[in-house]
Chains A and B, each alone.
Chain A
Amino acid sequence: MKKLLMGNEAMAHAALEAGVRVVAGYPGTPSSEIVETVARLHAAGSAKGVHVEWSTNEKVALELLFGASLAGARGLFTCKQMGLNVASDALMSLNYVSVRGGLVLVVADDPGPISSQTEQDTRRFAAFAKVPVLDPATPEQAFDMVKVAFDLSERFHTPVIVRPTTRVDHASAFFEVAEQTEALPVPDEGFERDVSKWVIFPRRAFQAHGEINERLRAMAGAFSQEEPFASFNESFAMPQGQFDAATFGIVAGGISAAYAREALRMVAQRAEQAGLALPACRFMQVGTPYPFPHEAMARFSVGLSDVLVIEELDYVLEDELVKFAGRTHAAFNVHGKLTGDARDRGENDVDDIAARIERFLGLSGRLRLRRREMIERGEVVQGIEYPEADSLPVRPPVLCPGCPHRGSFYAVKQALRKTPAVLCGDIGCYTLGNAQPLDAVDTCLCMGAGVTMAQGFSVADPDKKAVAFIGDSTFFASGMTGLANAAYNGHDITVMVLDNATTAMTGSQPHPGTGQTLMGPKNEPLSIEGVLAANGFLHVYHANPLDKDASIVAAKAAIAFEGPSAVIFESPCIQLITPDAPVSVDAQKCTGCKKCITEIGCPGISFDPHAAGPNSGSRGQAVIDTALCNGCDLCVQVCPFKAIECPVSPEEGGQDA
């Protein structure tokens, strides 16, 4: 039976069908579901022989996989685009050492960006690392590419990157997949010692560089000529059969290739409706951007006068076409991001691409004219518009109702009061502590940088107290080396560890502090306090962030200490627990002062200007949305009039079961 699978799920199935033996990564949107799918299939007993894990960070995952590859196992690495920055040290060198068991890296890029700090382009990274990269336009193609990437890797002894983007990762289509998979066996001899091969030295690196150059040349040829690669670089003509007549060419990559095909169909329909002939044009998807398939491009571009390049993030294909045109003295002009003919950043969409194609084909003026004539004749129905679209409420992401981070941020702000301070944030749900009214994040850079940036502030701006926030998963991923540095160099910082017992933002993945593994067994959880102590943090306080007063006391004590100190705020993510019964507002006591709203900004509390009581006059009163409130009770402690109450007895449960 066909199953509806997200691109990420499909790629997990593809790797398992290719016999992958070891799968490792670190969570990051939009990549996380790949490892989760492998873990789910392993737990269900349908993926046999596979080892799957969330590693502590991307560098750890890739190095672990490289070891497995040298032993002869096929390995799959997954991360988001910035995760490759963390793993880049390993990647750059392992390409020189060369792989044994197929090693495939699925690196998910995030145009927009939708859930990321940068719009970096992994196709560029692949070229920088001299590693081939495949760029799928659809979940189906992502499936095919992951499968074939393992063979490519073993044939050329190279790591291979598959680079989906968010709209491929999180788009779904129906797939026929194997019910059972079995990991390919590791060769009987396992790892074979060969110092001249597996140990990187300058002399070996020089030699290896030549091998890399050679295999890149060979792969560029294969990408142009051999199936299935050649079909990843497929081209066609519109109208059909007009290939030789066409002087316009459209070249697209990744999801933009899917958008551009949709846009081209749309433009053809519009032209037909307006009674205009569609100028003959060619279309090509470049599915193997690096090494660039020169021969395929030579076949495609012969006789063209103009080429429009549609891609997201960087102008990678455009650069290649400019180089290609220069090298071959080609007569075509290249239009794209560099010439202002395509969006220079963010996502593309079908509407925008259709407008650009119309302009490129010289149709837009005539189409506009025809449309105006049709409007005059009353043949065009206008779309319905909402009159006050600008007045609609904006919905920036916020901490969930009952999120324990809210209590931690509130306590730290209360403890600091007027003390000058720099609040260094980090990557995770707790970046959302920046929003009003908490307003408790002054900086955010990259994984683990809160702890280390705070040290820079303590040196350069010592009059302000340097405070760092770090989540539990980030703590293990990249916080520990920063802690050691603080103790070693004696920096006066206070680290607020927000321990909610999960990797929350990416969808509740376990980490070393939970001990829970994807293989099933639970190992002894690593102690955050133990790690702090081992790294020289001896002044460490504990608090439950949902206990307001105790949290403020702990934060005050840690902040008062001169030198490295920490508070561990411990309370599980609300996604992990059964909610308590919702609190309620006592209409007799509420004064309508709004303090519950303006102090902690919980989405479960809103204000009803028409509600009335003896103490609120005509001001209105706070109201609790019982569907959202999970009974964390922080607002109960914040209300100066004791007007918010916990339920006396547990409500009859099951309503939202």
Chain B
Amino acid sequence: MLNVMLTGVGGQGTVLAAKVLAQAAQEKGWRVRTAETIGMAQRGGSVVSHVRMGNEGEEVYSPLIAKGTADIVVAFEPAEAARVLPYLSVTGVLVTATTAIQPVTAALSADPYKGAQVIRGLVEAFQDAPERLLVVPDEALLKRVGNRKALNTVLLASAIGTGRLPLTVDDLRDAVRACVKPAFVELNLQAIDVALG
């Protein structure tokens, strides 16, 4: 069983990333279940997409990932990475973007939230297993891609690049071609190259 959790803030594009991953798994002939956060939380709240893949032919019952069982957590925002850490398995890998999204509540408070501080906390938490943490410099990469909307593909490509999932970069490219609107396929393929370049 492979469990991939994608987390971020409403509007960041976790849903499409989950679809792409599910498509890649389907092509492998695995059983797949995914689950999304839809509704009020999409208005700037924390959102989580679950992708569960029965890569050894096993049945997948629950669409949601249990605590301590995620093989990869892909976080679109540092605080959201820290928030879902209890879901990561003891051998799981965390892939996180560095750019913070400031909630209004934090902007109103005297002590706004600092993304860099959370990243430092994560690096500290993983100090005995640094190979299980990948901090993605999303801002620089997306500048090279030329479009911030490609964040999801950049992160997915980075996750595939860790080698933690039995999926190849070509599997990802095929899934992008199958799931992304034709007008944006090139952009996303380019984002894969930038992320892994």
Contact = CB atoms under 8 A, between A and B. Distances in A.
Nearest to B149: A656
B108 interface: yes
A250 to B, nearest CB: 13
Given A262-B61, A262-B62, A398-B43, A598 B108 contact: yes
B106 to A, nearest CB: 5
A435 interface: yes
Contact of A261 (B61, B86, B124): B61
Contact of B103 (A255, A349, A395): A395
Interface in A389-405: 389, 392-400
Interface stretch (A43-51, A164-172, A320-328): A164-172
Nearest to A261: B61
Interface string A573-616: 00000000000000000000000011001110111010000000
A115 B105 contact: no
Contacts of B124: 387
B164 to A, nearest CB: 15
A437 B124 CA distance: 35
Contacts of A606: 102, 106-107, 112
Interface stretch (A58-66, A334-342, A376-384): A376-384
Contact of A392 (B33, B36, B83): B83
Contacts of B63: 138, 167, 171-172, 258
Nearest to B36: A170
A288 interface: no
For the side of the interface on A, what is the size category? 35 or more
Contacts of B88: 383-384
Contact of B66 (A114, A262, A389): A262
Contacts of A384: 85, 88, 125-126, 129, 132
Contacts, number: 174
A128 interface: no
A385 B125 contact: yes
A114 B82 contact: no
Contacts of B108: 436-437, 597-598, 601
Given A261-B61, A398-B44, A627-B148, A349 B34 contact: no
Interface string A471-510: 0000000000000000000000000000000000110000
Interface stretch (B18-26, B154-162, B165-173, B188-196): B18-26
A258 B40 CA distance: 25
B129 to A, nearest CB: 7
Nearest to B89: A383
A325 to B, nearest CB: 28
A255 B63 CA distance: 9
A226 B176 CA distance: 44
Interface of B: 9-10, 19, 22-23, 26, 32-46, 61-64, 66-68, 79, 82-83, 85-86, 88-91, 102-108, 112-113, 118, 121-122, 124-126, 129, 132, 147-149
9 contacts: A29-B39, A383-B90, A384-B88, A384-B129, A393-B102, A397-B10, A397-B43, A435-B104, A625-B102
Interface of A: 2, 4, 6, 29-30, 114-115, 138, 166-167, 170-174, 255, 258-259, 261-262, 265-266, 349-351, 354, 381-389, 392-400, 429, 432, 435-437, 505-506, 597-598, 601-603, 605-607, 609, 625, 627, 655-656
Given A138-B63, A262-B66, 13 more contacts: A30-B38, A30-B39, A384-B132, A386-B122, A388-B121, A392-B79, A436-B108, A598-B108, A601-B107, A603-B103, A606-B102, A607-B107, A625-B102
> Across chains A and B, which 4 residue pairs bring their CB atoms closest together, nearest first?
A115-B39, A171-B63, A29-B39, A397-B43
